[in-house]
Chains A and B, each alone.
Chain A
Amino acid sequence: MSGAFPGHEALGASGAGSANLNERARDATPPLLQVRDLSKSFGHVKVLAGVNLSLRKGEVVGLVGENGAGKSTLLKTISGNLRPDAGALLIEGRPVVLRDYGDANRAGVFHIYQDLALIPSLSIYENVLLAHEAAFSRFGLIDNAKMLRHVQQLLTEFGHERIDAARNVESFDISTRQVVEIIKSFALAKLAGIESPIMLLDEPTAALTADEVKFLMQLIRATRERAAIIYVSHRLSEVIEISDRLYVLKDGVMVAESPAVNLSEDRLHELMVGRTRDEFFYREQLQREPGERLALEVGGLSLAGSFTDVSLRVNAGEIVGVAGVLGSGKSELAQALAGALPGATGDIVIDGVAAPEPVSILGMSEAGIGYLPPDRRDGVIPPLSVTSNMSLARLTRRGESCWLDLAREKREALEMISALGIRTASAEAQIETLSGGNQQKVLLARWLLRKAKVLILDNPTSGVDAGAKEEIYAVLRRIAAEGVGVLLVSDDLLEVIGLSNRILVMRDGVIVREAPAPANRKPTEVELVADMV
Chain B
Amino acid sequence: MQNSIATTAGRPAAIEARRAWWRQLSGATVGPWLALIAMVLVFSALNSRFFSIGNALNIFQQAAVLVVLSLGGTFVILMGSIDLSVGSMVSLAGISAAVLIRDYGEGAVVLAPLFTMLVGGIAGVLVGYAKLPSFLTTLGLLYAVNGCTLYVTQGAAVNVPPKLVIGSIFNGRLFGFPAVALWALAITLVAALVARRTRFGRYMYAIGGGETVAKLCGVPVARFKLYAFLVSGFLAGVSGVFLLLRVGGGDPTMGDPMLLPAIAAVVMGGTPLTGGVGGPLRTLLGVLIITILQNGMNLANVNPFLQNVVLGAGVIAAVAVNMDRKRLFSVK
Using a CB–CB cutoff of 8 Å, the interface residues on chain A facing chain B are 338, 340, 361-362, 365-366, 371, 373, 377-384, 388, 392-393, 395-396, 400-404, 406, 425-426, 429-430, 433, 446
Given known contacts A382-B276, A430-B20, what 16 new A-B pairs fall within 8 Å (CB)? A338-B216, A340-B215, A361-B215, A361-B216, A361-B218, A378-B213, A380-B210, A381-B205, A382-B209, A382-B210, A383-B276, A392-B217, A396-B217, A396-B218, A406-B197, A433-B20
Interface residues of B in 41-96 (CB under 8 A from A): none
Bound together, the chains give a CA A337 to CA B199 distance in angstroms of 26
Q: Which of B17, B212, B276, B326 makes the CB contact (< 8 A) with A384?
A: B276
A365, B218: Cβ atoms under 8 Å? yes
B209, A379: Cβ atoms under 8 Å? no
Q: Which of B20, B218, B220, B277 makes the CB contact (< 8 A) with A383?
A: B277
Chain B contacts for A395, CB-based, 8 A: 199, 202-203, 219
Residue of A nearest to B18 (CB): A425
Looking at B16, B23, B203, B216, which has the most chain A CB atoms within 10 Å of its CB? B216
Chain B contacts for A381, CB-based, 8 A: 205-206, 209-210, 213-214, 276
B327, A425: Cβ atoms under 8 Å? no
- Check A404/B198 contact, CB under 8 A, given A383-B205, A384-B205, A425-B17: yes
A362, B214: Cβ atoms under 8 Å? no
Q: Which of B202, B219, B327 makes the CB contact (< 8 A) with A382?
A: B327
Looking at B19, B197, B213, which has the most chain A CB atoms within 10 Å of its CB? B213
Check: B200 CB closer than 8 A to any chain A CB: yes
Using a CB–CB cutoff of 8 Å, the interface residues on chain B facing chain A are 13, 16-17, 19-20, 23, 196-203, 205-206, 208-210, 212-220, 276-277, 324, 326-327
Looking at A338, A381, A446, which has the most chain B CB atoms within 10 Å of its CB? A381
Bound together, the chains give a CA A401 to CA B199 distance in angstroms of 8
Can you list 13 A-B contacts (CB < 8 A)? A361-B215, A361-B217, A381-B276, A383-B208, A384-B205, A388-B205, A392-B206, A392-B213, A396-B217, A396-B219, A402-B199, A403-B197, A429-B20
Residue of B nearest to A400 (CB): B199
Chain A contacts for B197, CB-based, 8 A: 403-404, 406
B20, A388: Cβ atoms under 8 Å? no
Bound together, the chains give a CA A446 to CA B210 distance in angstroms of 15
Residue of A nearest to B13 (CB): A425
Bound together, the chains give a CA A193 to CA B214 distance in angstroms of 51
B13, A404: Cβ atoms under 8 Å? no
Looking at A338, A366, A373, A403, which has the most chain B CB atoms within 10 Å of its CB? A403
A392, B214: Cβ atoms under 8 Å? yes
Bound together, the chains give a CA A209 to CA B43 distance in angstroms of 72
Chain B contacts for A425, CB-based, 8 A: 13, 16-17, 19-20
Q: How far is the CB of A99 from chain B (nearest CB, A)?
A: 22
Bound together, the chains give a CA A365 to CA B220 distance in angstroms of 12
Chain B contacts for A380, CB-based, 8 A: 210, 213
Q: How far is the CB of A130 from chain B (nearest CB, A)?
A: 22
Bound together, the chains give a CA A340 to CA B208 distance in angstroms of 20
Bound together, the chains give a CA A383 to CA B278 distance in angstroms of 10
Residue of B nearest to A409 (CB): B202
B20, A373: Cβ atoms under 8 Å? no
Q: Which of B20, B218, B327 makes the CB contact (< 8 A) with A393?
A: B218
Chain A contacts for B13, CB-based, 8 A: 425
Q: How far is the CB of A484 from chain B (nearest CB, A)?
A: 18
A404, B202: Cβ atoms under 8 Å? yes
Q: How far is the CB of B92 from chain A (nearest CB, A)?
A: 29
Q: Which of A361, A383, A404 makes the CB contact (< 8 A) with B199?
A: A404
Q: How far is the CB of B281 from chain A (nearest CB, A)?
A: 16
Q: How far is the CB of A10 from chain B (nearest CB, A)?
A: 41
- Check A392/B198 contact, CB under 8 A, given A382-B209, A383-B209, A426-B20: no
